Amino acid sequence: MDQVFRDRQDAGIQLAARLLRYAGDPKVLVLGLPRGGVPVAYQVARRLEAPLDIFVVRKLGVPGHRELAMGAIASGGVRVLNPEVVNALRISEPMIAAVAAQEQNELERQQHAYRGNVPFPGLAGRIVIVVDDGLATGSTMRAAVRALRQMQPARIVVAAPVAAAETCRSLAAEADEVVCVSTPELFHAVSMWYQEFSQTTDEEVRTLLESSAHVVPVR
């Protein structure tokens, strides 16, 4: 039977158990995708005794059906499109550009809200573990990986508690490693795999980022 997690904290603890080979490695940096990926990433970082940061990626939702991703944008001007969705729905480039411009504003707002003026850490030569609370189409994570690749880390590990089986397989071509606790063939939505899946707030993200610098690692 496919796994259902109690909440994001429970999911993060179980995901961390699959990543213990990276525990204590000073080259490791854990990046949470806000907002929902941050509580999961917090638990991973705590158990791996690794620093936690965020990487902002915004999904490009189909107009009128925002939950359906036609692509994503990430820091550094990266844009990734889902050609199957774009072609099937005959979404025009001007429509994509309009949605991307709107999401770019939110991307910049989130970066300022979570990071302030703190510069993003250097990734060259580091092992970057990118965490989200779940992967449906994978377009958001794909954009993150392509943007992070430009910063020349030694290794990019995609990690999620639950992911659509096909998404997990396809991301293996983008990342150096993909770690998913549960990969149901019939996926539908990330929320289905959590008993409690309330929206993570900006304040929760800030609190977790601040406390991660002072937290006592689990040994």
Domain CATH code at residue 69: 3.40.50.2020
**Structural domains counted in the chain:** 1
Segment among 7-16, 41-50, 51-60 with least mean pLDDT? 51-60
In a domain, 60, yes or no: yes
Q: Please determine, for residue 102, whether its predicted confidence score (pLDDT) is greater than 60.
A: yes
In a domain, 1, yes or no: no
Rounded CA separation 18/44 (Å): 10
Strand locations in the chain, DSSP E?
28-32, 52-54, 57-62, 65-74, 78-81, 127-131, 155-162, 177-182
In a domain, 217, yes or no: no
In a domain, 219, yes or no: no
pLDDT band, very low/low/confident/very high, at 219 (cuts 50, 70, 90): very low
In a domain, 120, yes or no: yes
Tens of pLDDT, residues 61-86: 999 988 788 988 888 788 888 898 99
Residues whose CB falls within 8 Å of the CB of residue 34, separated by 6 or more in sequence, listed in order: 54, 56, 110, 114, 200, 205
Beta bridge partners of 157: 129, 177
pLDDT band, very low/low/confident/very high, at 214 (cuts 50, 70, 90): low
Q: Which domain holds residue 84?
A: 8-212
186 to each of 84, 163, 173, how far by Cα in Å? 19, 10, 22
Rounded CA separation 169/2 (Å): 17
In a domain, 218, yes or no: no
- pTM here is 0.87
Residues whose CB falls within 8 Å of the CB of residue 99, separated by 6 or more in sequence, listed in order: 60, 61, 63, 70
CA atoms within 13 A on the CB side of 189: 7
Cis-peptide into 35, omega within 30 deg: yes
In a domain, 3, yes or no: no
Give the residue-averaged pLDDT of 50-68.
90
